[in-house]
Amino acid sequence: MQGIVKSTPLVIYSCDPFEHVTKLAHPDGNVTGTTCMTTELSPKRLELLKELLPGARRVVFFHDPEDAPEGWRLTQEAAQKLGVTIRSVPYKGRDGIPEALKQVAKLKPDAVFVYPDAILVAEARPLAQFWLEHSLPAMNAFPEFSDAGGLMSYGVISTEVFGMMGDQVGKILDGARPGDVPVMRATRFHLVINLQTARALGVKVPQSMLIRADRVIE
């Protein structure tokens, strides 16, 4: 089985850095893929959250602690520069989410920074409802969260990343070695603002942000 894994061409969709790949343009081995840049964009998301809520001083970082610790580190560094105190509230698996949410509610932060994973995407709607019920503005990574009722998101549209991966698969099927197919990084990121949620939370969205938004949900 191990030999099969090491020899089978792998095209990976990752939202974290390809830390095991030393040369993105020539990854070698049997692995290539595309990253949606979630980790690297963490500071930018916090900047946007602070721009929307200039008075925010206490922010919760809601995440699985085993998922991309680099994202937590980068967000901490950004928080120091922005004058924000950021506190980690971790959860472990879907069963751990309810207890973690209770902790968030108890802390009563000014806002929540959600570090996404597959579990949270599936829980987007109940999470959005929880943030609204507890008057918590939340920043997310993917538009699915804003569509489900989250306040705002900044990140890729997954279908665009899948298209990039399709090009990589096509090259491999045409005979290219996976290690000769460059690892790709997403370059288009969408700012989505849910105005309906903003009104419900009493958040005034600056006109400058509305103009820059790729999509505004009325």
CATH number of 2-37+157-185: 3.40.50.2300
Is residue 2 over pLDDT 70? no
The set of residues, in sequence order, having a beta carbon less than 8 Å from that of 24 and lying 6+ positions away, is: 18, 182, 183, 185
103-129 per-position pLDDT tens digit: 999 999 999 999 988 889 889 999 999
Is residue 100 over pLDDT 80? yes
Of 157 and 43, the structure prediction assigns the larger pLDDT to 43
Is residue 203 over pLDDT 80? yes
Mean pLDDT of 141-170: 91
CATH architecture under which domain 42-155+190-217 falls: 3-Layer(aba) Sandwich (3.40)
Secondary structure (3-state) at 179: helix
**pLDDT interval class at 217 (50, 70, 90):** very high
For residue 72, with 0-12 CB atoms within 10 Å meaning exposed, 13-18 middle and 19 or more buried, which class applies?
A: buried
Of 53 and 30, the structure prediction assigns the larger pLDDT to 53
Question: For a pLDDT cut of 70, what percent of the chain falls above it?
Answer: 91
Of 125 and 179, the structure prediction assigns the larger pLDDT to 125
Q: Could you tell me the residue ranges of all domains in the chain?
A: 2-37+157-185, 42-155+190-217
pLDDT of residue 34: 83
pLDDT of residue 192: 98
Are both 2-37+157-185 and 42-155+190-217 of the same fold? yes
